[in-house]
Amino acid sequence: MATIRKTGQADRAKNGVIVILILGTLLMLGDFVYTTLDDAGEFKILETHSNLDCNVVKGVLSSEDITIDRQTGMAFVSSGIRGLGLDKGGAIIGYDLNAKSLKPVNLTSDFKEEFYPHGIGLYKGAGGAASLFVINHRSEKDYVEIFDYAGSKLVHRRSVSNVLMYSPNDIIPVGRDSFYVTNDHGYRSFRGQILEDLLKLAKSYVLYFDGDKLRIVARGLSFANGINLSPDGKTVYVSEVIGKQISVFDRDVKTGALALKNTIYCGTGVDNIDVAEDGSLWVGAHAKLLTFAKHAKNQKLPAPSQVLHITMKNGKYSVDEVYLDDGSTLSASSVAAAYKNEVLIGGVFAPRFLVCEKKMQ
Could you list the active site residues? 118
Q: What is the Cα 102 distance to its own chain's centre?
A: 27
Is 216:203 a contact under the CB 8 Å cutoff? no
The Cα–Cα gap between 221 and 238 comes to 9
Task: Give Cα separations from 239 to 11, 96, 101, 298, 315 (angstroms).
Answer: 55, 28, 35, 25, 20
Contacts of residue 142, defined as CB under 8 A and 6 or more positions apart, other chains included, come to 135, 136, 161, 165, 166, 167, 168
Q: What's the CA dihedral at 349, 350, 356, 361 to 10 degrees?
A: -70
Q: What are phi and psi of 27, to 5 degrees?
A: -65, -45
Contacts of residue 301, defined as CB under 8 A and 6 or more positions apart, other chains included, come to 291, 294, 295
Is 65:76 a contact under the CB 8 Å cutoff? no
Tell me which residue of 46, 52, 47 sits closest to 323, measured CA to CA: 52
The Cα–Cα gap between 287 and 49 comes to 13
Q: What is the Cα 14 distance to its own chain's centre?
A: 51
The Cα–Cα gap between 2 and 218 comes to 69
Q: Which helix (H) or strand (E) holds 293?
A: helix 289-297
Q: Which helix (H) or strand (E) holds 16?
A: helix 2-39
The Cα–Cα gap between 7 and 2 comes to 9
The Cα–Cα gap between 347 and 303 comes to 10
Task: Give Cα separations from 31 to 37, 81, 182, 202, 269 (angstroms).
Answer: 10, 35, 32, 21, 21
